[in-house]
């Protein structure tokens, strides 16, 4: 049950998605009070079995990803299941989907079909490549988007193959754009009464983060290559070793922060060195500068080094593992690790709510639960189906 003072209270979103992108988008909006009705197949979303599993058989990731959601299990491969979801869409403010467009069209769950019956409906379609163009029917996952969107090409060291980040970056970026698109379209609907289609491509979501990479090529023909831990356009900005085996990220690439770093290092001579006199020169001689900084950082343990840099006004932070994050006083003070009860009454640890709102903060009411936990309640409340009708559908395997 959402709080009536929540920012998105009164907004109902129907999720027709699986795994990462669409479920991540609805999770964020659910944190801020939107009613999320997640439709998954009777056997459950695949994410239930991704990663380490809890005693109840569902992954820890699933239990965070599906928090605050009403879980409805419907077999969309059946005509009756498709009809049920079309009926649910009549009661929704928005649909967020990341199943393949051709599949959704075949099931009568595409934008055109649903919007014809509900003109105010906002329909957010997340695909690998977008709904137009020669690749529109190609399947796509986050790793493909990261490759085609340019991030993989520039990630890693010049003498080694491209590498991936350790998370589903493409999917999570698309989720954020899906949230932005949904909220923007809701604002438009509030003033016009008209819904619309929000077309989110994983590839374009990744591409949007590549900063100067494309403008520099389009305007000057520069192809950005892999540069390891160096930031190509400003220096110093790298990751440096410490005495205790940890790593520290330092960003001292403005004139004032570089001066502050030189002071903390007790190396005022660096400010007079013509190689480091301004940012363009520092970028040109970044390897030399990084060697000098690394020779200094390795004399310190990570924690005391970060404290020393912070006291001197130099942006710095440890490269943190999950254990480091869970024990970090800053993250703890901002409730970034929370524990939420699941259906069995056990506590599930998970990430807190981002971002923080002063007047209408997000809330977590429940962890993701069993397949079909809310099917009958939702179909009764929204479609007026009685217990006999619901049991008949369950007996046929249409719902769970």
Enzyme catalytic residues: 171
CB-based contacts of 79: which residues, under 8 Å, 6+ apart?
Answer: none
Instruction: Report in angstroms the alpha-carbon separations of 84 from 44, 157, 239, 355.
Output: 17, 51, 53, 34
CB-based contacts of 348: which residues, under 8 Å, 6+ apart?
Answer: 54, 60, 63, 64, 339, 340, 341, 342, 367
Nearest-angstrom CA–CA distance, 195 and 11: 13
Neighbour-count burial of 100, counting CB atoms closer than 10 A to its CB (0-12 exposed, 13-18 middle, 19+ buried): middle
- The answer to whether the CB of 24 falls within 8 A of the CB of 66 is no
- Residue 236: asked if its preceding bond is cis (omega within 30°), the reply is yes
Beta-bridge mates of residue 318: 248
Q: Which long-range contacts (CB under 8 A, 24 or more apart) does 81-87 make?
A: 81/398, 81/399, 82/107, 82/108, 82/109, 84/379, 84/383, 84/393, 84/398, 84/399, 85/14, 85/16, 85/39, 85/109, 86/113, 86/114, 86/117, 87/382, 87/383
Instruction: Report in angstroms the alpha-carbon separations of 87 from 76, 118, 382.
Output: 13, 10, 9
């Amino acid at each position: 049950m959402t709080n009536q003072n929540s920012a998105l209270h009164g907004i109902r979103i129907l999720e027709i998605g699986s795994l990462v992108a669409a479920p991540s988008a609805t999770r964020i909006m659910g944190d801020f009070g939107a009613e999320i009705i997640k439709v998954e197949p009777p056997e459950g979303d695949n994410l239930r079995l991704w990663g380490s599993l809890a005693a109840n058989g569902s992954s820890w990731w699933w239990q965070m990803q599906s928090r605050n959601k009403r879980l409805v299990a419907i077999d969309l491969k059946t005509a009756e299941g498709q009809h049920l979801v079309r009926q649910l869409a009549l009661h929704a403010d928005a649909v967020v989907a990341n199943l393949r467009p051709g599949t959704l069209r075949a099931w009568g769950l595409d934008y055109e079909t649903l919007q014809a019956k509900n003109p105010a409906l906002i329909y957010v379609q997340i695909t690998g490549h977008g709904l137009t163009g020669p690749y529109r029917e190609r399947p796509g996952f986050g790793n493909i988007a990261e490759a085609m969107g340019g991030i993989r090409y520039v990630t890693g060291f010049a003498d080694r193959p491209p590498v991936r980040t350790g998370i589903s970056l493409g999917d999570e970026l698309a989720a954020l754009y899906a949230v932005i698109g949904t909220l923007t379209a809701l604002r438009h609907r509030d003033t016009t009464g008209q819904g619309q289609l929000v077309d989110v491509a994983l590839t374009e979501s990744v591409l949007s983060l590549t900063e100067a990479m494309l403008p520099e090529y389009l305007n000057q023909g520069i192809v950005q290559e892999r540069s390891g831990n160096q930031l190509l356009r400003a220096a110093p900005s790298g990751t440096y070793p410490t005495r205790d085996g940890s790593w520290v990220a330092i960003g001292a690439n403005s004139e004032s922060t570089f001066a502050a770093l030189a002071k903390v290092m007790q190396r005022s001579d660096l400010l007079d060195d013509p190689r480091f006199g301004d940012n363009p020169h520092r970028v040109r001689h970044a390897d030399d500068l990084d060697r000098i900084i690394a020779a200094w950082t390795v004399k310190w343990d990570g924690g005391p080094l970060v404290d020393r840099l912070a006291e001197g006004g130099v942006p710095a932070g440890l490269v943190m593992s999950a254990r480091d994050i869970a024990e970090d006083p800053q993250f703890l003070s901002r409730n970034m690790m929370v524990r939420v009860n699941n259906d069995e009454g056990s506590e599930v640890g998970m990430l807190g709510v981002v971002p923080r709102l002063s007047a209408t903060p997000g809330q977590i009411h429940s962890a993701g639960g069993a397949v079909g936990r809310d099917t009958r309640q939702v179909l009764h409340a929204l479609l007026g189906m009685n217990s006999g009708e619901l049991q008949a559908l369950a007996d046929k395997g249409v719902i769970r």
